[in-house]
Amino acid sequence: MSTLSKLNSERLSSALGYQFKDDSLLLKALSHRSVGSHNNERLEFLGDSLLNFIIAEALFQKFPEVREGHLTRLRANLVKGDTLADIAKEFNLGEYLQLGEGELKSGGYRRASILADTVEAILGAIYLESGMDICAQTVLRWYDSRLRSVSPDVSAKDSKTRLQEFMQERKKPLPKYEVLRCFGQSHSPEFEVSCDIGRGYAPTTAIAGSKRNAEQMAAEQMLQTLGIA
């Protein structure tokens, strides 16, 4: 297994706002399954659960009058893959990913699903090393601006629904989604999907571990193109 240089470790720790005592744990959190058995999948599983709980508690405290169903939608919007991928990009996380040769050649260091999973894996690693309080403090620091700007009055509808409603309101044809390719191993496929609304706009594309998630991410990019994300 490769190692993480002292310089890279210090740079990433500075970006994360957390200094790992055990660089081997950080390295494991950065290691995609394509590198072999010593990968971050178990840490990702743990981090996903931690993130959902920490954000749920933050929303529960912030909005004491908001009903459960709407809190659930607000949380889903904050912990979705494209939000996590955006956080990863803020850390320049792609520079530090440990990828197998195939993933490296196919641009895995830019893939939103891999970036999002790695953020969750890092959270799992922070929890194992420093416990729940430090993990929660880290998440809340990463999400500070997002939690301050979130409002129960803002729609928490998913991106595909929002884009479809936008087109319907203007009596335009509905967006068309197309699977451009499916690749990867049979037990962990990746889907590249395009979203096309015509009207002179170039289609947007996204890659994710499921067709549904790829469609949502492509729709989100189209909303950004339209200036309504």
Please confirm, yes or no, whether 153 is among the known catalytic residues: no
| Alpha carbon separation from 11 to 86, 115, 146, 155, 221 (Å, rounded) | 18, 17, 24, 37, 29
Among candidate residues 44, 48, 158, 190, the one labeled active-site is 48
Please confirm, yes or no, whether 48 is among the known catalytic residues: yes
Structure tokens belonging to residue 133: 């309080």
Contact 52, 143 (CB under 8 A): no
- Dihedral of CA atoms 41, 13, 27, 95 in degrees, nearest 10, equals 90
Among candidate residues 120, 158, 190, 220, the one labeled active-site is 120
| Alpha carbon separation from 79 to 83, 109, 143 (Å, rounded) | 6, 20, 10
Structure tokens belonging to residue 173: 């044809």
Contact 152, 74 (CB under 8 A): yes
| Catalytic residue list | 48, 120
